[in-house]
Amino acid sequence: MRSDFSDFCDEALGNDDEDGSAGCLVCFVFVATLFVSGCFSIVEARYWIFGRTVAAVVTRVQSPKPTDESDGQFEIRYSFVDSSSNASREEGDAVPASWGAPPIEVPVRYIPGRAGSSRIVGNESYVAVWIFAIAALCTLAGLGYAYLQAKRALAPHRPRGVLPRRRRGRRWIAG
């Protein structure tokens, strides 16, 4: 039993065989990857654009609990003064145990005026940014390929050696 959506996907992708929903699934996964990685990339971009770095005082450290797969994480609570409101903020972050025990003061990157948006400097991940960049480039390449294919498909309908006619119409701007 096939749905109208899978028929639409098969027609859009040019699949005439019965098992054509794989192409639609690939397109859906690609769009979902682009969307999710884009959301994570926006968070990283906010730290790059609006973030400020300040020295924070460590108020509490919870020792890591090692597991079979990792050495655990230090749960660190710290406090710092927000530059937008001059109010003290106390927040937390988790860093790998391989970083070692934290010092009394740690550098923290935060977004002014937004509670809960801080992290210890160096505790960021660029994986989502790279995935988004690669997916965006693939999207541009796919659109370029589709443009070239459409241009080739429409080329036989234009006589060779005849340039497109220039139209002389009304001038919309008086001058």
**What is residue 2's predicted lDDT score, i.e. its pLDDT?**
55
Q: Which two tokens stand for residue 67?
A: 């597991």
- Indicate if the pLDDT at residue 105 is higher than 70: yes
pLDDT tens track for 1-26: 555 555 555 555 555 555 557 777 87
Residue 72 falls in which region: left (phi positive, over 0), alpha (psi -120 to 50) or beta: left
**What is residue 126's predicted lDDT score, i.e. its pLDDT?**
86
Whether pTM exceeds 0.75: no
The arrangement of strands across the sheet holding 88-96 comes to 88-96, 73-81, 52-62, 105-110, 118-120
* Residue 159 banded pLDDT, cuts 50, 70, 90: low
**What is residue 53's predicted lDDT score, i.e. its pLDDT?**
93
pLDDT tens track for 66-95: 877 778 889 999 999 998 888 899 999 999
Closest C-alpha to 95, from 68, 124, 115: 124
The residue that leads in pLDDT, 151 or 54, is: 54
**What is residue 19's predicted lDDT score, i.e. its pLDDT?**
58
- When pLDDT is averaged across residues 122-138 and rounded to a whole number, the result is 88
Q: Which amino acid belongs to residue 118?
A: S
* Residue 61 banded pLDDT, cuts 50, 70, 90: very high
Whether 97 and 20 have beta carbons less than 8 Å apart is answered as no
Reported as type and span, the H/E element at residue 78 is strand 73-81
- When pLDDT is averaged across residues 132-138 and rounded to a whole number, the result is 90
